[in-house]
Every structure is written in structure tokens, then in C-alpha cells.
């Protein structure tokens, strides 16, 4: 199956915020990503607004023509945005406001009832749901019990161990993805996926629905240009 590429544009906003003003333009960057072949746009509007702001979120909802994926911790602010904007997908991430980046998945057994209630509310708006999880099989099993549509596998450990032993790095992800599929869940993936490790990941999880890539892709665009970089990532997913 074709794996969709959702470009996380948080880093575009980070650069803009470093100087203020509107350069680079976040909305135009999203439009260009779509024009260059991206299947979707991902944003993570954190409460401190250190990159994507609340205003960005609403502005982007007006211009994104593919799929808008809003990810974040499901606090009152996040839930209000999802209810009002109705993005294509809402990805629930268990990170508190102070963390630098998402670096862990949900303990879905511990938060089962909480997640079940949140997902029910989000799905009532016609929004596809996804839960950010690690490869612990128990967390996959309990994710299925929440009623979620998809899981997003946290691929940080995969990226870290890939240069050392790619076979060992991918093994737990294959098991987790296969279990998710057996339980009726679609599989997304994200965090530190790059031109170096993406094709190998896709090869071993051919039914992968979507990858969300930001830091590596935007960094590569500094050297290769945004259009060429997106085409390079799409080629890795072919």
C-alpha cells in the first residue's frame, strides 16, 4: 500500500519565531509542501507556543487541502481546537508542556478510561484518531480497547539503534505493527525518521499508513531545497 507522507512544519514556525514577523511564512510553507507532493501537514501546537501557535492552527485549517493532522496532549485547549477545526486526524501525545519534543508513548492500560472518553469525543466530530505509543505489546492491546482508529509508533529508539544494528532496531516495530493490524488498527509512525532509515522501516512494515516527519525533512531542505527533499522522501516510501 502507499504510505502517506505528512510533513511536520513545527520547525518552520521555530525559525519564524526566532525573529518575529512572518518569515518564513508557515501557511505558504504548508501550501508548498502539498504542492510538492506531501499527502498531509502535521502540527503540534504546544501550550507555550514555542513553534506552532494557536493562531497558526486556525489559519492552517483554512489553507491545507490534503490532510491536517493536529497532534498534542489532549487538554482543554487541544480538545477545543479539534472540535472547532475538525482536522482529518487528531494524534494524542502524552507529553507535558515542558518537554523539548515527544519522547514517549502512552501507558494505554493506565490511561484506558481517560483515552476512551477522549477518543469518543473526538470521533463524534468525524475526526480520525491516533494514539502515540511505543512497541510494548501491552500498550498496543490496550490502545485497541480505547476505540482508536490508528496508533502512531514512536520511532525514536528505532532511529537511535538503526546505525548499530538495523535488524534488531526494526524487530520490535514489526511485532507491534503486526499486532496492531490483527487488532484492527491502522499504523502510523513518527519521530527521527530520515532519508537514512525510512526505506528500511517501510520495507519491513509494508502496510504502514502514514509517516509524520519534521525535523529531519526540514533540515534536509536546507541543503536540497524543500521541493527536492519532499520528492526524496516520497521515493523512500515508494
Q: Which residues are catalytic?
A: 44, 71, 191
What are residue 130's phi and psi, to 5 degrees? -145, 145
- If we measure between CA atoms, which residue out of 28, 40, 21 comes closest to residue 150? 40
Give the Cα-Cα-Cα angle 190, 193, 198 (nearest 5 degrees).
Answer: 115
- Please, are residues 102 and 155 in contact by the beta-carbon 8 Å criterion? no
- Which neighbouring-strand residues pair with 150? 130, 186
What is the grid cell recorded at 198? 525510512
Burial class (CB in 10 A: 0-12, 13-18, 19+), 18: exposed
Determine the 3-state secondary structure of 169 from DSSP. Answer: helix
The rounded distance, in Å, linking the Cα atoms of 69 and 61 is 10
Q: Residue 211 to residues 22, 98, 199, 200: CA-CA distances in angstroms?
A: 28, 25, 11, 13
Amino acid at each position: 500500500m502507499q504510505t502517506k507522507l505528512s510533513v511536520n512544519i513545527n520547525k518552520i514556525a521555530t525559525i519564524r519565531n526566532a525573529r518575529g514577523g512572518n518569515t518564513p511564512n508557515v501557511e505558504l510553507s504548508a501550501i508548498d509542501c502539498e504542492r510538492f507532493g506531501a499527502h498531509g501537514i502535521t502540527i503540534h501546537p504546544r501550550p507555550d507556543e514555542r513553534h506552532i501557535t494557536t493562531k497558526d492552527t486556525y489559519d492552517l485549517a483554512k489553507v491545507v487541502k490534503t490532510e491536517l493532522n493536529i497532534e498534542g496532549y489532549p487538554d482543554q485547549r487541544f480538545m477545543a481546537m479539534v472540535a472547532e477545526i475538525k482536522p482529518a486526524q487528531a494524534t494524542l501525545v502524552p507529553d507535558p508542556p515542558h518537554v523539548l519534543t515527544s519522547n514517549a508513548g502512552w501507558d494505554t492500560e493506565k490511561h484506558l478510561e481517560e483515552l476512551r472518553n477522549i477518543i469518543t469525543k473526538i470521533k463524534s466530530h468525524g475526526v480520525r484518531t491516533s494514539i502515540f505509543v511505543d512497541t510494548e505489546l501491552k500498550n498496543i492491546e490496550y490502545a485497541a480497547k480505547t476505540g482508536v482508529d490508528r496508533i502512531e509508533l514512536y520511532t525514536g529508539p528505532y532511529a537511535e539503534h538503526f546505525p548499530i544494528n538495523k535488524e534488531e532496531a526494526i524487530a520490535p516495530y514489526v511485532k507491534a505493527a503486526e499486532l496492531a493490524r490483527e487488532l484492527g488498527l491502522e499504523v502510523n509512525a513518527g519521530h527521527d525518521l530520515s532519508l537514512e532509515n525510512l526505506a528500511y522501516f517501510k520495507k519491513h512494515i509494508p502496510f504502514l499508513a502514514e509517516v509524520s516527519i519534521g525535523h529531519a525533512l526540514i533540515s534536509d531542505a536546507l541543503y536540497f531545497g524543500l521541493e527536492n527533499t519532499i520528492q526524496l522522501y516520497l521515493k523512500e516510501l515508494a
